Amino acid sequence: MNEDVASAGWFADVDQMEAEAAAARIRTGEAETPEAWPVLAVESGAVPDEQAYYDTLRAATLRAARDTVTERERADDRQLIHAVRSMDDCDRVANELAERLTEWAGSLDDEAGSGVEYAREIAGSDDHEPRLVSLAERIVGLTDEAEELRTFIERRAPDVAPNLAALAGPVLAARLISLAGDLESLAKKPSGTVQVLGAEDALFAHLRGHGTSPKHGVIFTHEYVRATEPDERGSAARALAGKLSIAARIDYYSGEYNAELEAELDRRIERIRTRGESE
């Protein structure tokens, strides 16, 4: 009878050496009620004694927990991608609708403002054509949604990719993961590819013999590229992309935050900018 009961335990049918199988049982197994598992495990011969039981349990639970956490963090990079794409969509359509609103409002009032700003101005008003006000409120709703998605990304990106989020900022980190497809793909790309992610059109044009090779893709939005003077921007983009690649790799393979990376990047950009000034 004890053997029947023991068969419900995490250790049943698992060779104590097979840590992977034990971890899987811990992750996916179920039982309605607990039992005296240490005793049953020893009785069933799965382990020689209670100390061995707990040692095995420790290894198995640590591995199971680590697998679950890693798997979830991997899945979280997908969520981040959906969030950043949704954020961009909300911003884009809010602006498109705001253009329409601007045209419409302008036909009724020469002094009407324009864009999302104007939508925010007349939302909730009862001095304007009700359909305009209603449209303005939808636009404000979409920009609010984009803002809330940004907050979501800011909260989640450091969990998914702590180093990348620290170096790139959460939103750019999410965009890079989105452009690569997932954190794994980003981690495996050479830093030269990371440098031009988001500039695929220009890159393909260059490869077909049109135009110059692009110096930066979406990383242009980073202050270290954008605010570096044009002559040194290529160097800054290369330096930033290099560190971002390393950050993505650490995030993918270990997940440990490394403050040194950020400090190195700061020093590197400082040198590039100083060089630019002295020339």
Work out the burial of residue 1: count CB atoms within 10 Å of its CB; fewer than 13 is exposed, 13-18 middle, 19 or more buried.
exposed
How many residues form the binding site for other proteins (CB under 8 A)?
Answer: 30
Q: Report how far apart, in Å, the C-alpha atoms of 15 and of each of 20, 23, 42, 65, 254 are.
A: 10, 12, 13, 19, 28
- Of 33, 259, 278, 279, the one binding other proteins (CB under 8 A) is 33
- Of 2, 3, 31, 148, the one binding other proteins (CB under 8 A) is 31
Build a one-symbol-per-residue string for 146-175: x at contacts with a copy of itself by CB under 8 A, - elsewhere.
--xx--x-----------------------
165 binds other proteins (CB under 8 A): no
Dihedral angle, C-alpha 51, 52, 57, 59, nearest 10 °: 110
Dihedral sign, Cα of residue 140, residue 141, residue 146, residue 152: positive
Burial 193-222 (b: 16+ CB within 10 A, else e): bbbbbbbeebbeeeeeeeeeebbbbbbbeb
Residue 35: CB partners within 8 Å, gap ≥ 6?
Answer: 5, 6, 8, 9
Give the DSSP letter of residue 14.
-
Helix ranges restricted to H, 109-189: 115-122, 130-160, 162-168, 170-180, 183-188
82 binds a copy of itself (CB under 8 A): yes
* Residue (33 or 212) nearer to other proteins, CB: 33
* Residue (6 or 146) nearer to other proteins, CB: 6
274 binds a copy of itself (CB under 8 A): no
Compute the residue count for the chain.
Answer: 279
What minimum distance in Å lies between the beta carbon of 255 and a copy of itself?
A: 21
- Region binding other proteins by CB under 8 A among candidate stretches 51-59, 80-88, 125-133, 211-219: 51-59
Q: Please tell me the distance from the alpha carbon of residue 247 to that of residue 261, in angstroms, as a whole number.
A: 8
> Which partner from the list other proteins, a copy of itself, none does 121 bind, CB cut-off 5 to 8 Å by kind?
none
* Residue (25 or 249) nearer to other proteins, CB: 25
Subset of residues 102 to 141 that bind a copy of itself, contact rule: CB under 8 A: 103-104, 107-108, 131, 134-135, 138, 141
Residues that bind other proteins (CB under 8 A): 8-10, 25-26, 29-38, 54, 57-58, 61-62, 64-66, 68-69, 72-73, 76, 159, 255
Report the interface residues with a copy of itself, using CB under 8 A.
75, 78-79, 82-83, 85-86, 89-90, 93, 96-97, 100-101, 103-104, 107-108, 131, 134-135, 138, 141-142, 145, 148-149, 152
